[in-house]
Structure 1
Amino acid sequence: MRETLKKYFGYDSFRPQQEDIIRHILHKKDALVLMPTGGGKSICYQLPALLSEGTAVVVSPLISLMKDQVEALLANGIAAGALNSSNDETENANLRRACIEGRLKLLYISPEKLLAEKDYLLRDMHISLFAIDEAHCISQWGHDFRPEYTQMGVLHQQFPQVPIIALTATADKITRGDIIRQLHLVEPRTFISSFDRPNISLTVKRGFQAKEKNKAILEFIRRHEGTSGIIYCMSRNKTETVAQMLQKQGIRCGVYHAGLPTQQREETQDDFINDRIQVVCATIAFGMGIDKSNVRWVIHYNLPKSIESFYQEIGRAGRDGLPSDTVLFYSLGDLILLTKFATESNQQNINIEKLQRMQQYAEADICRRRILLSYFGETTTEDCGNCDVCKNPPQRFDGTVIVQKALSAIARAEQQISTSILIDILRGNYSVEVTGKGYQELKTFGVGRDIPPRDWQDYLLQMLQLGYFEIAYNENNHLKITSSGSDILFGRAQATLAVIQHEEAITRKGKKKKVVIAKELPFSATGGESQDLFEALRGLRKRLADQEALPAYIVLSDKVLHLLCISRPTTIEEFGEISGIGEHKKKKYGKDFVNLIRQFVE
């Protein structure tokens, strides 16, 4: 097992649980594997495939995901192919022949294609194992439900001797049970890895309006100059307006959503993978097929609908283990709209519950990572030190007067107003909605002039979280005072609010952000690493990747480039000792990289 790992993947040791999972599969037993994105799921079925007779059949939901995996395997000298509708008939015929003759170690296939081929191709093949990737798609409780996945249960009936390994990065308890039931797994062992990704920083920004959001995003991208990132938006329309805003500022940016023609979506994805664009503005339709290891940041323009979705989307950053940043923008408007969607959905109770857990995460004033981990059933006794709450613990003050002003305005408007009108009343704005109802005559009109609109947004979010009012979603989102709100309003209790932390704007000449390197990484930000050498190695990697029409990270990952920078191997043997460089890459790229390093050292 270890020899094969070193030979093909260039690693000296396994990550936690990988070895146990591989041994379990080699004993022809079923398994359900939960590992976070970037946790090394693929090796759990790729290595048993290499060590077994026959071909492993990997079921994958997206063509782009298959393409990425197959390219990475071929780059490591492993015989792999993908049978799908994007191939021409000759390609597919050659692949079928290779499978029947046993020349392919891994065959990637979509669920639809699998069902079409099970009585023909699969019957004539010697199959070593079935791997069901993104297995949460099988369950209607999962967040990416795909009806065609539900028929995968036939595999065990037709091939009872072949072990099945189901893999996913995000599944709560209900979804796990459903995956096991629907796939008819026989006495499966469930392997759950830690969901902690300490290299990813977590930040939430509350109550920003569109203009402020755009400004904050531009500053953020300038601080992360030249690095790849994804901006997730709730609507298709928003992805396009955000992309246009960035393009006007000279940022290379693409758009991805389900309403675009297939060709345009594929081009955007291809441009992003090959570093021709820096940013993709996307709906949740984007990313499942992205195995790009050097995505350095993810921004959520809106609140996601569940912690599963959020966790999977931020997991696309920092898959190589290097420091990466995530930012979530959260406003009352998002919450109101998502609650409306959840209420009108088929699974109303589940979706509302999932949204409430997401809301708790966004409004938390305790370590955010602990909330994420506890959602997936993992407890930790220590704060992470790499989220905004840990870095800037909230200070509190007596906010009774502020709360009373807001509640008084709600009461005087007979609890018939939404948050935007409430802020207009408090700020003394003569808006159409205010004057139309005569609210400018209220005693509370203008009593909160001294507080900026964004701060009012934040205070109202806090008040909602503290339970001082509720939002009647079935009554045009009107605000209703609760009994604990009444206690504050009539002076029977006091309200404590968190101080709003305003960030200092960063100019283009401003200080670069200090990078905190995760503890487990084998190098430090300064330790013997030359930026000039790193850039030279990046340039060489890009040239080699372009020659082979491959994404750069498939040639060598950023992590490997950093390790080369530090150890500076000057022989091909030393080059092959670097973690992440297998035999195939050593022979193929060793000479080029070693020559460059030698020149640099001399």
Structure 2
Amino acid sequence: HCISEWGHDFRPEYRRIRTMIDSINKEIPIIALTATATPKVQSDIVKNLDMDPVNIFISSFNRDNLYYEVRPKINKDQTIKEIVQFVKTMPGKTGIVYVQSRKSTEEIAKILSVNGVIASAYHAGLDAKTRSKVQDNFLGDELEVIVATIAFGMGIDKPDVRFVIHYDIPKSIENYYQETGRGGRDGLQGKCLTFYSYKDILKQEKFLRDKPVSERELSTQLMEEIIAYAETSSCRRSFLLHYFGEDYGKDECELCDNCKYPKEKIDVTKEMGLAIQMVTQLSENYTIKMLVDFAQGRSTKDMRNFKFDKMDLYGVGKDNDEVFWHSIFRHAILNNLLHKEIEQYGLIKVSGAGKDFLKKPYKVEIPINRDFSAVKTSDIITNASAKGGALDETLMKMLKDLRKSEAKRHDVKPWVVFSEPSLQDMATYYPISLPDMNEIQGVSVGKAQKYGKPFVALIKEYVEENDIDRAMEHTVKQVANKSRDKVAIIQSIDRKIPLDYIAEQVGMSMEDLLNELNMIVDAGTKLNIDYYLNDNMDEDVVEEIFDYFNDDAEDDSVESAIRELQEEDITMEEVQLVRIKFMTEVAN
């Protein structure tokens, strides 16, 4: 997205990449990858890199395990107080608090620490050694919260970040999506809380005054989009996906504040029609701001110069305020009745659906604005609870502390001992014996024997001290479900049959077989494939990948390994094979 002038992090020198490629070899294949490209940015990248013909692959932008919430930023003291309250409701959970100033990182980190939260500040003003130590402490579960400027985050792939808080509104939706996306990477729920005040927008606008006109206009447009997101009363998930060119397909997600606390709806069928008519009357040549001024009949310089004040629709919406008309235009865009032309700096156009609406109107209802401060903080937090049963937060913290100490004792990463989902199961079902532990997801008989004893001892003592009625006592244990293929695969590996031959025998591709083998070891079964590695992989490559999982990895993700080892010319297949070896020898 740095290639595109419409991207949130445009760098002009990146426009020369195509020229550099041509100077080497015009036939070099090109792959362009980004996680935050709007449709306009995508087309601009393709055009600038001269990728013709081109295949475009887009996965969903929807992070369905993230909960989105925006609260008003009333004042500094109140906001910091709310942050402390929010963090304190999730003891032992790790999270990131993003702020824009270095001074604020230090201040908020100190206040969190005083309130019993293990927190540190991180910003570009710290020396490299200190930054590295803070980052390592965060990745190694020594820190609960890191309070950081945007200098923190790139390349960070900690799977169990449970919350991301923005003390200041980000500069663009792309930044917001990227930063909130660091939460919940293990698939469990993450909470994304943002504090919003228009004063923060005014501060950002001051920084743009000395920028070139084109950069200033684009930055202003990006800020308008994040303002619209913060102020919207519709589903936040739908808003985000629409921005990136994806249709959510639902009216509500149930995982954002606007869906969990819906506002009263009002009929705006008439006003929606007027909004479309106003766009047409102004020749589809103006932004939302100009259209709102026109609707309210404001006597601005532009209204007089362009003689808009002489038009029949001028002031037609003067009985409703500015916020109301902004909502009307934004909902019209979200519902595809109007279209915002990004390339022309946000000019509003009427879509085909909008023209059809004028010919045959249908009832449109939108939520009215709600006072965020009327919602109790405790309600917001508890109603956004994670998926699953009644997780014991106190026990969960004790288990994480034990995992950390056991990881140090065994000289392995915390996730190698037990994964976050495994700990959550333990804190929900209270296994008090090794056979009980075998019922926990991701815990095999071997893993239970290797790491389980101190955990069941801790849980048993906790259950007895607190007189807990264990959910596991009422759970019907299931027989392990191993398909015929799975049994055949395991038996074939025991007989040291080559993997490509096994794939052929069970009618799988090699890729599918490796995925199956990784799922088998994830479930706790040991698979000794050394015979295959010895014949098919370089010993140094095996050692390098194994050492990565053992020493550097923050989780067992194949994708993370590929990213970290990309300079070593290592393939996905090689990483999957060595991961099977690692999980068998160390994790299981």
1:389 to 252, 258, 273: 258
1:525 to 379, 382, 389: 389
SS at match of 2:69: strand
Structure 1 residue 322 and structure 2 residue 158: aligned?
no
Aligned runs of 1:290-439 on 2, under 5 Å? 290-346=156-212, 347-382=215-250, 383-395=252-264
CA distance in 1, matches of 2:128, 2:223: 30
CA distance in 2, matches of 1:278, 1:206: 25
Q: 1:337/1:554 Cα in 2 relative to 1: closer, same or farther (>3 Å)?
A: farther
CA distance in 2, matches of 1:531, 1:261: 36
Q: Deviation per CA, 1:130-180: give whole Å up to 9, x if none.
A: xxxxxx234443333467766654457546676443322101233223433
Aligned runs of 1:108-123 on 2, under 5 Å? none
Whether the aligned pair in 2 keeps the contact of 1:343 and 1:352 (CA below 8 Å) is no
SS at match of 1:333: helix
Whether the aligned pair in 2 keeps the contact of 1:156 and 1:183 (CA below 8 Å) is no
Q: Deviation per CA, 1:355-402: give whole Å up to 9, x if none.
A: 1111011001111111111000011231101111111112489xxxxx
Whether the aligned pair in 2 keeps the contact of 1:247 and 1:253 (CA below 8 Å) is yes
SS at match of 1:177: helix
1:220 to 86, 106, 122: 86
CA distance in 1, matches of 2:297, 2:228: 16
2:369 to 474, 478, 498: 498
Counterpart residue identity of residue 379, structure 1: D
Structure 1 residue 552 and structure 2 residue 420: aligned?
no
Q: State the match for 1:79 in structure 2.
A: none
Whether the aligned pair in 2 keeps the contact of 1:218 and 1:246 (CA below 8 Å) is yes
Q: State the match for 1:86 in structure 2.
A: none
CA distance in 2, matches of 1:169, 1:470: 43
Q: 1:590/1:470 Cα in 2 relative to 1: closer, same or farther (>3 Å)?
A: farther
Q: 1:186/1:544 Cα in 2 relative to 1: closer, same or farther (>3 Å)?
A: farther
Structure 1 residue 267 and structure 2 residue 133: aligned?
yes
CA distance in 2, matches of 1:516, 1:339: 36
CA distance in 2, matches of 1:396, 1:207: 25
Q: State the match for 2:6 in structure 1.
A: 141
Counterpart residue identity of residue 581, structure 2: H
2:440 to 566, 579, 582: 566
CA distance in 2, matches of 1:230, 1:268: 12
Q: State the match for 2:510 in structure 1.
A: none
CA RMSD of aligned residues (A): 4.2
Whether the aligned pair in 1 keeps the contact of 2:417 and 2:587 (CA below 8 Å) is no
Q: 1:506/1:565 Cα in 2 relative to 1: closer, same or farther (>3 Å)?
A: farther
Counterpart residue identity of residue 216, structure 2: Q
Whether the aligned pair in 1 keeps the contact of 2:66 and 2:184 (CA below 8 Å) is yes
CA distance in 1, matches of 2:51, 2:407: 41
Structure 1 residue 578 and structure 2 residue 523: aligned?
yes
Counterpart residue identity of residue 143, structure 1: H
CA distance in 2, matches of 1:204, 1:278: 22
Counterpart residue identity of residue 389, structure 2: A
CA distance in 2, matches of 1:215, 1:471: 41
Whether the aligned pair in 2 keeps the contact of 1:572 and 1:586 (CA below 8 Å) is no
Q: Please report how far the alpha carbon of residue 262 of structure 1 lies from its aligned counterpart in structure 2 after TM superposition.
A: 2.1
Structure 1 residue 243 and structure 2 residue 109: aligned?
yes
CA distance in 1, matches of 2:255, 2:242: 17
Q: State the match for 2:431 in structure 1.
A: none
Q: 1:328/1:502 Cα in 2 relative to 1: closer, same or farther (>3 Å)?
A: same
TM-score (norm 2): 0.54
Structure 1 residue 542 and structure 2 residue 539: aligned?
no
Q: State the match for 1:460 in structure 2.
A: none
CA distance in 1, matches of 2:106, 2:299: 33
Counterpart residue identity of residue 159, structure 2: S
Q: Deviation per CA, 1:342-361: give whole Å up to 9, x if none.
A: 45433011111111111011
CA distance in 2, matches of 1:533, 1:590: 23
Whether the aligned pair in 1 keeps the contact of 2:173 and 2:225 (CA below 8 Å) is yes
Give unpaired runs (5+ residues) of structure 2. Answer: 267-291, 302-313, 328-366, 426-437, 448-479, 481-519, 525-555, 558-578
Aligned runs of 1:444-455 on 2, under 5 Å? none
Bigger fraction of residues in strand: 1
Whether the aligned pair in 2 keeps the contact of 1:232 and 1:301 (CA below 8 Å) is yes
Whether the aligned pair in 2 keeps the contact of 1:396 and 1:497 (CA below 8 Å) is yes
1:279 to 145, 160, 170: 145
Whether the aligned pair in 2 keeps the contact of 1:298 and 1:325 (CA below 8 Å) is yes
Q: 1:505/1:360 Cα in 2 relative to 1: closer, same or farther (>3 Å)?
A: closer
CA distance in 1, matches of 2:261, 2:53: 47
Aligned runs of 1:62-77 on 2, under 5 Å? none
Structure 1 residue 231 and structure 2 residue 100: aligned?
no
Whether the aligned pair in 1 keeps the contact of 2:69 and 2:257 (CA below 8 Å) is yes
Q: State the match for 1:513 in structure 2.
A: 382
Structure having greater relative contact order (Cα 8 Å, sep ≥ 6): 1
**Number of residue pairs matched by the alignment:** 370
Q: Deviation per CA, 1:308-352: give whole Å up to 9, x if none.
A: 000111000001110111111011211211233345433011111
Bigger fraction of residues in helix: 2
1:252 to 110, 118, 131: 118
Q: Please report how far the alpha carbon of residue 298 of structure 1 lies from its aligned counterpart in structure 2 after TM superposition.
A: 0.5
CA distance in 1, matches of 2:522, 2:157: 24
Whether the aligned pair in 2 keeps the contact of 1:233 and 1:301 (CA below 8 Å) is yes
CA distance in 1, matches of 2:190, 2:521: 27
CA distance in 2, matches of 1:290, 1:470: 51
Counterpart residue identity of residue 320, structure 1: D
Q: Deviation per CA, 1:375-434: give whole Å up to 9, x if none.
A: 00011231101111111112489xxxxxxxxxxxxxxxxxxxxxxxxxxxxxxxxxxxxx
